Amino acid sequence: MSLPSLAIILLVGIGIGYRLYSRFVAGQYGLDDTHLTPACEVNDGVDYVPTKPFYLLGQHFSAIAAAGPIAGPIMAAQMFGWLPCLLWIGLGTIFIGAVHDFSSLVASVKHRARSIAEIVRLHVGQRGWLTMMLFIWLALIYVIVAFTDITASTFVGKTEEFEGELFAFNPGGAVAAASTMYLLLAVLMGFVQWRFNPPLWLQTIIFVPATLGVVWFGTKISTLLVLDVKAWGVLILAYCFVASLLPMWLLLQPRGYLGGFILYLTLFVGLIGVFFGGFQVQQESFKTWHAPGMTGALFPFLFVTIACGACSGFHGLVCSGTTSKQIEKETHCRPVGYGAMLLEGFVAFIALATVMIVAQPQLQGMAPGKIYGDGIGRFLAILIGQEHLRFAMTFGAMAFSTFVFDTLDVATRLSRYIIEELFNWSGKRGAVLATAITIVFPLVLIMSSGEGAYRLFWTLFGTGNQLLAALTLLGITVWLRRSARPVWFALLPMLFVMSMTVWSLAIQVREAYAVVLQRGFVMNTTILNGVVSVCLLSLAVTLIVEALRSLAQPATSAVKVPTA
């Protein structure tokens, strides 16, 4: 089947899902626009700002559509074939991921924009809150580890396809140079905004073209930043440390603004490539039920490898952290929460398409970021010409890294907030110490890992991320049950995701135990993953027990939400 046909089937499916199933789920929550949302009630002009749904959808989509829905499908397709990936992306997005995001957003809005952890504290108890906070922190640590390692792999490229040029060219070095200049450009934009406060339209026409300019310049200085994977890993973690402590106006906000243009441009280019590129599908539709030497069996590892393109616990943190404070009317939760996840599903399909059009032998040794960059580059070359393929591929790979930096910034900052809250630290000293604690563990993992370890990191990251989604749905199920509302539409997805993630963790613990028996307790990625898997399992079981105790309590027609 051709790429355009598959794209049309997916678009029709998610369109029907939004039209019918999202309306059904919205009806279960009793959304009512006469209720005052937290954004309208507080409206402080800083965090609580009523925002029109069209603009909020774009902002929320940019926040959740990072590198997760890109890397996961690319890795899973090489292991199991593209058909299982497409089925999980389509069905998972409609019935699990979008329900999770929508429900997280509604729950937060109906609880005065409280976080998921705070909602758990209200309905499950203090012990449940503490368990949820620790679980979120540990899951975020593996977000940092996985995305750091996979980005470092993208910055290390090969030069074979460009041999014979008059001057040396390193694709990985070009991406690294372009990405570094892009971050500096974002800082410059933040400084200009703070110092001179020019109109946004003026900054846009200056800095957006400049973003494309740094891609071009990166291809000219590609040999200046050629380092190995570990060196890049350390530098990226150093960036995370600094970025999480900088004022949001200096880096995070301007980089997010510029990154939004890159995201939508990449989505547009992907659509052009899929529908008008004429590319043939070269990957097998189905390869195996078990991928030897890779992640493992299709059940459960397909469902944790594609960690964001179908369902993501990280999205619940975004929904309840920032987006819920900007919802103008309760009914806007549907297009923003449910709709954005459906859009992310199509982003995952475009990522899947970049690997489907390449024969497997040509992909050997290539990191997901490189595969995605080359694919987007081939799509972009349709518009700008094959003679600009080098620029196009560098743009594609840099787009991947910009999405990663978005995730790394948010994950590090959220991890810092959790530690500060748990230990009641405040001030600059507390922020620095909390950030240092957050960065140490990823640093140890990166330094002790071997080449291609991102596959092992990704497996545990995906498992933790999906288990976070399951625990979020568990908390929402408790709230629905205590509010005397139907629960099955949240309960069934929770049970499926919970079973896949617990299964995955159990296998990783078993593999770590086998390594310990064979070699003893030595520092390596498999054993560290096993230790973390035990921790995640223990925290999940604790929260499940606390939730079951709450579910045993009699349901009431309404649960009072504290005003402060």
Q: Of 489, 485, 526, 520, whose CA–CA distance to 508 is shortest?
A: 526
What would the two tokens of residue 381 be? 């070359």
**Phi/psi of residue 297, each to 5°?**
-70, 150
Instruction: Report the alpha-carbon angle 35-41-44, nearest 5.
Output: 155
Q: Is the pLDDT of residue 95 over 90?
A: yes
What is the pLDDT averaged over residues 297-306? 96
Predicted confidence (pLDDT) per residue in 211-242, tens digit: 999 999 999 998 888 899 999 999 999 999 99
Whether residue 559 has pLDDT greater than 70: no
More confident residue, 295 or 139: 139
Can you tell me the mean pLDDT for 526-554?
93
**Cα 208-212-217 angle, rounded to 5 deg:** 135
Supply the pLDDT for residue 539. Answer: 97
pTM of the model: 0.93
Q: What is each CA distance from 273 to 90, 222, 376, 392, 437, in whole angstroms?
A: 20, 26, 8, 13, 43
Name the residue type at position 426. Answer: S
Supply the pLDDT for residue 407. Answer: 86
Per-residue burial over 61-72, b = 16 or more CB atoms within 10 Å of its CB, e = otherwise? bbbbbbbbbbbb
Cα–Cα distance measured from residue 459 to residue 472, given in angstroms and rounded to the nearest whole number: 20
Q: Are 298 and 289 in contact (CB under 8 A)?
A: yes
Q: What is the pLDDT of residues 428-483, one digit of tens each?
A: 999 999 999 999 999 998 988 776 677 778 999 999 999 999 999 999 999 999 99
CATH class of 3-551: mainly alpha
Q: How many residues would you count in the chain?
A: 564
Instruction: Specify whether the CB–CB gap between 344 and 309 falls below 8 A.
Output: yes
Tokens of 142: 């593996």
What's the whole-number mean pLDDT along residues 25-41? 96
Say whether pLDDT at 562 is over 80.
Answer: no
3-state DSSP of 292-321:
CCCCCEHHHHHHHHCCCCCCCHHHHHHHHH
Helix (H) or strand (E) holding 87: helix 82-92
CA distance 404 to 66: 6
Which of 118, 254, 119, 109 is CA-nearest to residue 195? 254
pLDDT classification of 292: cutoffs 50, 70, 90: confident
Q: Read off the pLDDT of each residue in 282-308 and give the average, rounded to a whole number.
A: 89
Q: What is the pLDDT of residue 406?
A: 83
Distances from the Cα of 358 to the Cα of 82, 139, 288, 352, 382, angstroms: 12, 33, 18, 11, 17
